[in-house]
Amino acid sequence: MNHTTSAENIIELKNISRTFDDGFRVVEDFNLTVKRGEFVTFLGPSGCGKTTTLRMIAGFDKPTEGELLLNGVDIRDLPPNKRPINTVFQRYALFPHLNVFDNIAFGLKLKKRPKVEIIRKVKRALEMVDLEGFEDRTIGTLSGGQQQRIAIARALVNEPEILLLDEPLGALDLKMRKEMQLELKNMHQRLGITFIYVTHDQEEALTMSDKIVVMSEGKIQQIGTPEDIYNEPKNAFVADFIGESNIFSGIMTGKYKVRFCGAEFDCVDDVEHGTMIDAVVRPEDVIITTPEKGTIQGKVTSVIFKGVHYEITVLSGKNEIVVQSTKKAVTGSDVGILIEPEGIHIMIAEDVVNRIETGVDKNYQLLFLDGALACDLTELFPGASFQSDGLLMDAHGDVIEPETIRILVSIKPDSIEMSDDKEAGLLRGHIINLIYKGDHYSYVVRTDEDEDFIVDDEDLWNMDDYVSLIIPEESFEYAVKK
């Protein structure tokens, strides 16, 4: 197998979408270019469409829209057996009625290769996965790890242009998984074959890949090298999914200056003054110090020993900050928090809205603004209706318990009005921040209940003004939190 180092694209997915028969969109507008010899990983939680995308490349599934180019040729209508692509299946899918030799030789025999060649190639494939002499074993006598290796050998013996791996290590124990990760990576470097790998394990993706495609709900969230994805996550989903992280909503207060958690921090990202942002801080980048030295102060609420480090949770005001440190902290003690500028990653927040999460009381009245809001729950739960006894029943006839309902209330900043008249609105609070945004001011109002509201207003108000917030009922948007 000759190693081609040319940067030629082997497979291109252009605007690929896949809609199931029931109308569910599993993959939406997927665009990806894979270079020859690359190790690409699709990473995302289960149900994000990563396996469906892989199945479309293998040919088991057909895109409803878009182009799928292999070496520049559209292969949408090519059946799997005609594609120079082989797959390592999640549950191995070894043939139970064939022994190891016949399993590996399956593809070669179909191609009617000479017997001598088949024997030689199977032997070499077994050597590659460190299972020499296993030819006559039956599949039932192999351990999970051995079956995994046979599955890899069975795919690689056909010398595919692309090897697809669908969560191949999912069924192995931790130690075996780590070993196989390294072996697969070595194999990839040795053979020069393009690997497309699917996993939900972020650590696995970071260890093995040249390129990671982070997916969520059928859409690509970010494509980049492991370093890019880890250090510069594009949005809150990626930051949250890749490793543990603290995400704070905040605002840019100047060049290389950002304000969150009630304090101003230096950062290395140059984002326009006044932009609403999410700041991502990795737990290992948070430094615990004495209260007087810290940028912000807080109280340690929990300390958990994790082997290499302690995981310390600090409560500062309303914000919880997770810290990883090799130094132990005492639960209940007051500490200061420092964050180096390099440790703060700024993500520009997309369409800022005020979100309030709340529940309902026994009578299904919203626990927000003392139930003054008329929220029709039957519209939020499709097919649901109120019974004569006052209980809410869903489309399947099951009762929805009021305690289990979580409602997200969204209010756009420009639909809130501020007033001097304390009785005019239902919420009252102080203006704690204001930024001029060119055509309007963006204010942050902290209410007496300690909730922060972002309000857009064309008029100028002063810091620390005590105002009441008038929110027209029709501007409330409700959604059920799953």
Partner 1 sequence: MQSKSNWLKLSKAQLALPYGLFLVCFVLAPLIVIIYYAFTNGEGVFTIENLTGFFLSTKTIGTLAYSFGIAIVTTSVCLLLAYPIAYILARGNFKHKSVILMIFIMPMWINFTLRITALKEILTIIEGNLSFHPFLNTVIGMTYDFLPFMILPIYTTLLKLDKNLLEAASDLGADTVQTFMKVTLPLSVPGIISGIFMVFLPSMTNYVVLDMLYNSTYIMGSLIGAYFSAYDWHGGSMISLILLIIILVFTLCTNRYADEDAGSSRGGVISR
| Footprint of partner 1 on 268-327 (CB under 8 A) | none
x/- mask, partner 1, residues 4-43, rule CB under 8 A, reads: ----------------------------------------
Q: Which residue lies nearer to partner 1 by CB, 158 or 249?
A: 158
Select from 161, 193, 19 the least CA-distant residue to 82: 161
Q: Binder to partner 1 among 15, 71, 74, 91 (CB under 8 A)? A: 91
Residue type, 101: F
Torsion sign across C-alpha atoms 361, 363, 366, 372: negative
x/- mask, partner 1, residues 383-412, rule CB under 8 A, reads: ------------------------------
Strand ranges across the sheet with 334-339: 286-289, 334-339, 296-305, 310-316, 319-325
Select from 111, 141, 137, 115 the least CA-distant residue to 126: 137
In this chain, which stretch among 70-78, 91-99, 193-201, 211-219 interacts with partner 1, using CB under 8 A?
91-99
Give the count of beta carbons closer than 10 Å to the beta carbon of residue 142.
18
**Least distance in angstroms from the C-beta of 115 to partner 1:** 17
Q: Which residue lies nearer to partner 1 by CB, 88 or 229?
A: 88
DSSP 310-341: EEEEEEETTEEEEEEESS---TT-EEEEEE-G
Torsion of CA 89, 233, 320, 216, to 10 degrees: -40
| Footprint of partner 1 on 55-84 (CB under 8 A) | 58-60, 79-81
Could you give the CA distance from residue 89 to residue 110 in angstroms, rounded to a whole number? 20
DSSP letter assigned to residue 349? P
Give the count of beta carbons closer than 10 Å to the beta carbon of residue 38.
20
**Least distance in angstroms from the C-beta of 78 to partner 1:** 12
- Residue with token string 């979100």: 355
H or E element that contains 55: helix 50-58
305 φ/ψ angles, rounded to the nearest 5 degrees:
-80, 125
Q: Binder to partner 1 among 86, 199, 216, 245 (CB under 8 A)? A: 86
Q: Which residue lies nearer to partner 1 by CB, 4 or 138?
A: 138
**Least distance in angstroms from the C-beta of 169 to partner 1:** 17
**Least distance in angstroms from the C-beta of 299 to partner 1:** 45
Report whether 203 contacts 54 (CB < 8 A).
no
13 φ/ψ angles, rounded to the nearest 5 degrees:
-110, 120
Q: Which residue lies nearer to partner 1 by CB, 21 or 458?
A: 21
**Least distance in angstroms from the C-beta of 94 to partner 1:** 8
Could you give the CA distance from residue 358 to residue 353 in angstroms, rounded to a whole number? 16
Burial code (b: 16+ CB inside 10 Å, e: under 16) for 308-343 equals ebbebbbebeebebbbbbeeebeeeeebbbebeeeb
**Least distance in angstroms from the C-beta of 90 to partner 1:** 8
Could you give the CA distance from residue 261 to residue 435 in angstroms, rounded to a whole number? 17
Q: Which residue lies nearer to partner 1 by CB, 55 or 177?
A: 55
40, 367, 410 from 402: Cα distances, Å? 45, 11, 20
Q: Which residue lies nearer to partner 1 by CB, 10 or 238?
A: 10
Q: Which residue lies nearer to partner 1 by CB, 103 or 313?
A: 103
Q: Which residue lies nearer to partner 1 by CB, 85 or 344?
A: 85
| Footprint of partner 1 on 150-209 (CB under 8 A) | 154-155, 158
Could you give the CA distance from residue 406 to residue 444 in angstroms, rounded to a whole number? 25
| Footprint of partner 1 on 128-157 (CB under 8 A) | 138-140, 154-155
226 interacts with partner 1 by CB under 8 A: no
Q: Which residue lies nearer to partner 1 by CB, 107 or 283?
A: 107
Pairing of strands 73-74, 194-199: unpaired
Report whether 126 contacts 134 (CB < 8 A).
yes
**Least distance in angstroms from the C-beta of 151 to partner 1:** 9
Compute the C-alpha angle 354/355/360, nearest 5°: 135
Report whether 292 contacts 338 (CB < 8 A).
no
85 interacts with partner 1 by CB under 8 A: yes
Q: Which residue lies nearer to partner 1 by CB, 82 or 255?
A: 82
Q: Which residue lies nearer to partner 1 by CB, 80 or 274?
A: 80
Q: Which residue lies nearer to partner 1 by CB, 81 or 363?
A: 81
How many residues bind partner 1, per CB under 8 A? 27
x/- mask, partner 1, residues 93-122, rule CB under 8 A, reads: xxxxx--------xx--xx-----------
x/- mask, partner 1, residues 410-449, rule CB under 8 A, reads: ----------------------------------------
**Least distance in angstroms from the C-beta of 135 to partner 1:** 17
What are the structure tokens assigned to 421, written together? 């008249």
Positions in the binding site for partner 1 (CB under 8 A): 58-60, 79-81, 85-87, 89-91, 93-97, 106-107, 110-111, 138-140, 154-155, 158
